[in-house]
């Protein structure tokens, strides 16, 4: 029997008592004066008046409690053929030294530090060191190009940037340092200092005065036993900023606080994931995404688990058995990844032969999120792994699951295609355009009643107005998730699509609007549209349509190739925009709105209706032809 309904009801009856109880699992320097203050912040703030330190709760307290010799981080890097185990005691040493180094470079409480790194333990050490001294980190995913990094530098104004000489992708070494240098060159804000982790695969030249070598600084700090202790920060002080795609090229700086974040994440570890302190927990994601923040770093470390930092891919490093090798070798109890990783494995190993080569007896559950988990993939994983496969739904903005099937509270019956039921903290309603609640089974905007629970974003970095406008203005009293879906008679949610122009490519959240901005900057492009269409491996892929300027007189395939390169250069390889089609014109409404949704439905082979407001219906036939010619119409 699941305790879910009982626990959800207990939260609903008294949310403050519920979160006050959860807060007992965190060590506070000073307890909260108010568990929730509705007058503070934009929609209220959690644990107002409390003082705490996130790094202390992730590291120091476990060493004090006798977990010093337990591995805190296992770095398993098949791509560099290396492994490294860092115990909690060692992590404490490294983090307190790096925190002291940050201090030496005048980084103080409230200052921002950008971390632009591949999947190495130093990325986690840098994050925790910031938390230790109350600095606010902002991790930028390594697959983003210089321009994206520059945008974040100009928004966050970091005093210091921590980076590495290179990242390693299966087909190539990605030199990070030239990207970093270019980004700093482009940005109007200049950081005072950069600390660079030199990797043997490709060392980087250092700029005198500004750049410093990670290893040299750490060796010197070790020789002097130079350390920084945890500082006390307010629960509502920011722990980090994580930029995520918005509807324009300007990403949104999601702010995470210290206190509420710890309380909620700690609660999820037992109640949603059913892991205990000492267990090995693995989120095969990247520290550049929210899944990495919450479940590679903070969740497992707050709970005293061992976390795996994996530098590799589900397939090809070296084969589709790498996940099972790691689960067996390190005794992983719970794995969390994106469905796309499983689709990649399923494609390479449809009969699950690699799975049978390993002893997975200690493996208890697989969690999926980041994009829709298609029932085929979920059932394939269930069949071959013999453990619960649990889809759950959340966003960068929330830091933890809005809906899940909570393993720790006892599983509810599995419903394929649904990521489960709302978690305590979230009252979810489906609203129509007028903001009225829709009945069971009807599709609408998925919204969460305010206040949001602890850990959810209190605002956007230095942009309260954009926060209100993006999330709170359309449906007063609610947070708008920008996902559309419905709820069934048992309260299970179904997430159908985004209501904005965000797409999900291989579990990476990307803005088609940002890609359109880049295409529009090409000198020969008059107009453009980017649409996310269904893809068997990546869930969705972007395809671009361009209309060339009259008299451009260029070879269209050349312009198309330039457009592909431009997006790769400006946004990064991760945008995965590889298909551009030149068309004579774009389908629009009479008011000039491009019919992106209709194009998507045509490509996905879904039913579609001719929009009543269409300017010229013939254009949709032209687009269909172009898509067909490229083999991009499903079922055609
Ligand atoms: N640094 C630099 N480049 C990166 C990068 C990084 N950290 N991560 C990805 N890229 C590059 C890739 O090399 C690829 O470049 P290419 O176009 O030259 O091949 C491009 O960005 C697109 O990457 P991706 O969409 O990840 O596709 P892929 O072909 O490399 O791998 C999968 C396909 C399915 C194996 C892979 O997407 C995967 O494992 N995804 C897991 C999803 C995930 O972790 N999501 C996080 C949320 S839970
Ligand atoms: P991100 O902020 O990168 O985590 O992306 C959040 C978005 O990914 C959500 O708003 C959804 O559109 C999508 N998403 C995340 N998890 C799921 C899921 N389990 N099912 C369907 N869509 C999901």
Res 247 pLDDT > 80: no
**What does the alpha-carbon distance between residue 447 and residue 428 come to, in Å, rounded to a whole number?**
6
Domain 51-312+392-422 sits in CATH at 3.40.50.12780
Q: Are 617 and 610 in contact (CB under 8 A)?
A: yes
Mean pLDDT of 316-329: 98
Q: Are 216 and 176 in contact (CB under 8 A)?
A: no
Res 636 pLDDT > 90: no
Confidence of residue 350 (pLDDT cuts 50, 70, 90): very high
Protein residue with least CA distance to atom 2, ligand 1: 143
Indicate if ligand 2 lies below 6 Å from the C-beta of 251: no
Mean pLDDT of 542-550: 95
User: Nearest CA to 117 among 236, 52, 204?
Assistant: 204
User: For the purposes of burial, counting CB atoms within 10 Å of the CB of 370, is it exposed (0-12), middle (13-18) or buried (19 or more)?
Assistant: buried
Res 249 pLDDT > 80: no
Pairing of strands 136-139, 112-116: parallel
pLDDT computed for residue 186 by the predictor: 97
For residue 452, give every residue at least 6 positions away whose Cβ sits within 8 Å of its Cβ, in sequence order, or none: 43, 398, 425, 426, 479
Centre of ligand 1 from the C-alpha of residue 227, in Å: 37
Pairing of strands 306-310, 71-77: parallel
Indicate if ligand 2 lies below 6 Å from the C-beta of 371: yes
Paired tokens of 389: 């496969």
Percent of the chain with pLDDT over 70: 100
For residue 31, give every residue at least 6 positions away whose Cβ sits within 8 Å of its Cβ, in sequence order, or none: 49, 50
For residue 363, give every residue at least 6 positions away whose Cβ sits within 8 Å of its Cβ, in sequence order, or none: 327, 332, 333, 334, 335, 385, 387
Mean pLDDT of 515-521: 94
Indicate if ligand 2 lies below 6 Å from the C-beta of 202: no
Quote the pTM value. 0.95
DSSP code for 607: -
For residue 298, give every residue at least 6 positions away whose Cβ sits within 8 Å of its Cβ, in sequence order, or none: 54, 58, 261, 262, 265
* Segments making up each domain of the chain, as ranges: 51-312+392-422, 506-629
pLDDT computed for residue 489 by the predictor: 98
Superfamily for 506-629? ANL, C-terminal domain (3.30.300.30)
Paired tokens of 390: 């649990």
Indicate if ligand 1 lies below 6 Å from the C-beta of 74: no
Indicate if ligand 2 lies below 6 Å from the C-beta of 396: yes
Indicate if ligand 1 lies below 6 Å from the C-beta of 79: no
Mean pLDDT of 62-72: 98
Indicate if ligand 2 lies below 6 Å from the C-beta of 395: yes
Among all ligands shown, which has an atom nearest to the Cα of 417?
Answer: 2
Confidence of residue 81 (pLDDT cuts 50, 70, 90): very high
Centre of ligand 1 from the C-alpha of residue 519, in Å: 22
Among all ligands shown, which has an atom nearest to the Cα of 404?
Answer: 2
Indicate if ligand 1 lies below 6 Å from the C-beta of 451: no
Res 511 pLDDT > 80: yes
Strand order in the sheet with 193-197: 211-213, 193-197, 160-164, 112-116, 136-139, 238-244, 252-257
Centre of ligand 1 from the C-alpha of residue 574, in Å: 6
Q: Are 55 and 240 in contact (CB under 8 A)?
A: no
Confidence of residue 612 (pLDDT cuts 50, 70, 90): confident
């Amino acid at each position: 029997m699941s305790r879910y309904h009982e626990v959800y009801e207990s939260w609903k009856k008294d949310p403050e008592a519920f979160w006050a109880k959860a807060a007992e699992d965190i060590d506070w320097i000073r307890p909260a004066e108010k568990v929730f203050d509705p007058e503070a912040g934009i929609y209220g703030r959690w644990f107002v008046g409390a003082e705490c330190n996130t790094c202390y709760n992730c590291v120091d307290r476990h060493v004090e409690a006798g977990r010093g010799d337990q591995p805190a981080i296992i770095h398993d890097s098949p791509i560099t053929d290396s492994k490294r185990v860092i115990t909690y005691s060692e992590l404490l040493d490294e983090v307190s030294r790096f925190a002291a180094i940050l201090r030496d470079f005048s980084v103080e409480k409230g200052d921002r530090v950008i971390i632009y790194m591949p999947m190495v333990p130093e990325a986690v050490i840098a994050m925790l060191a910031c938390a230790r001294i109350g600095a606010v980190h902002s991790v930028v995913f390594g697959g983003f190009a210089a321009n994206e990094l520059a945008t974040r530098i100009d928004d966050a104004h970091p005093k210091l940037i921590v980076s590495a000489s290179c990242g390693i992708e299966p087909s190539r070494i990605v030199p990070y340092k030239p990207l970093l240098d270019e980004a700093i060159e482009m940005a109007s804000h200049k950081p005072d200092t950069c600390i660079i982790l030199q990797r043997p695969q490709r060392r980087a030249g250092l700029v005198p005065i500004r750049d410093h070598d990670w290893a040299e600084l750490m060796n010197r700090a070790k020789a002097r036993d130079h350390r920084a202790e945890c500082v006390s920060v307010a629960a509502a002080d920011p722990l980090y900023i994580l930029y995520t795609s918005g509807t324009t090229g300007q990403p949104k700086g999601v702010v995470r606080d210290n206190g509420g974040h710890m309380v909620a994440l700690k609660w999820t570890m037992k109640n949603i994931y059913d892991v205990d302190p000492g267990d090995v927990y693995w989120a095969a994601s990247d520290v550049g995404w929210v899944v990495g923040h919450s479940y590679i770093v903070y969740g497992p470390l707050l709970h005293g688990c061992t976390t795996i930092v994996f530098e590799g891919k589900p397939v090809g490093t070296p084969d589709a058995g790498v996940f099972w090798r790691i689960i067996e070798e390190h005794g992983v109890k719970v794995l969390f990844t994106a469905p796309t990783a499983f689709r990649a494995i399923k494609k390479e190993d449809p009969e699950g032969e690699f799975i049978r080569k390993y002893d997975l007896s200690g493996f208890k559950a697989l969690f999926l999120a980041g994009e829709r988990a298609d029932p085929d993939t979920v059932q394939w994983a269930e069949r071959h792994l013999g453990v619960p496969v649990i889809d759950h739904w959340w966003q960068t903005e929330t830091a933890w699951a809005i809906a899940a099937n909570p393993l720790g509270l006892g599983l509810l019956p599995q419903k394929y295609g649904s990521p489960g039921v709302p978690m305590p903290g979230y009252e979810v309603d489906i609203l129509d355009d007028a903001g009225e609640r829709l009945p069971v089974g009807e599709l609408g905007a998925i919204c969460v009643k305010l206040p949001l629970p602890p850990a959810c974003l209190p605002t956007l970095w230095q942009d309260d107005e954009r926060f209100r406008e993006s999330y709170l203005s359309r449906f007063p009293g609610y947070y708008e998730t920008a996902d559309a879906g419905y709820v069934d008679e048992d309260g299970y949610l179904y997430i159908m699509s985004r209501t904005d122009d965000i797409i999900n490519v291989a579990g990476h959240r990307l803005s088609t609007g940002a890609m359109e901005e880049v295409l529009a900057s090409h000198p020969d492009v008059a107009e453009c549209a980017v649409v996310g269409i269904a893809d068997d491996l990546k869930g969705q892929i972007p395809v671009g349509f361009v209309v060339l300027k009259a008299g451009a007189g260029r070879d269209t395939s050349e312009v198309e190739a330039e457009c592909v390169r431009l997006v790769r250069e400006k946004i990064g390889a991760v945008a995965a925009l590889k298909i551009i089609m030149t068309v004579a014109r774009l389908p629009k409404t009479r008011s000039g709105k491009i019919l992106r949704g209709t194009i998507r439905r045509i490509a996905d082979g879904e039913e579609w209706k001719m929009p009543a407001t269409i300017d010229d219906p013939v254009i949709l036939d032209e687009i269909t032809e172009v898509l067909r010619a490229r083999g991009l119409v499903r079922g055609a």
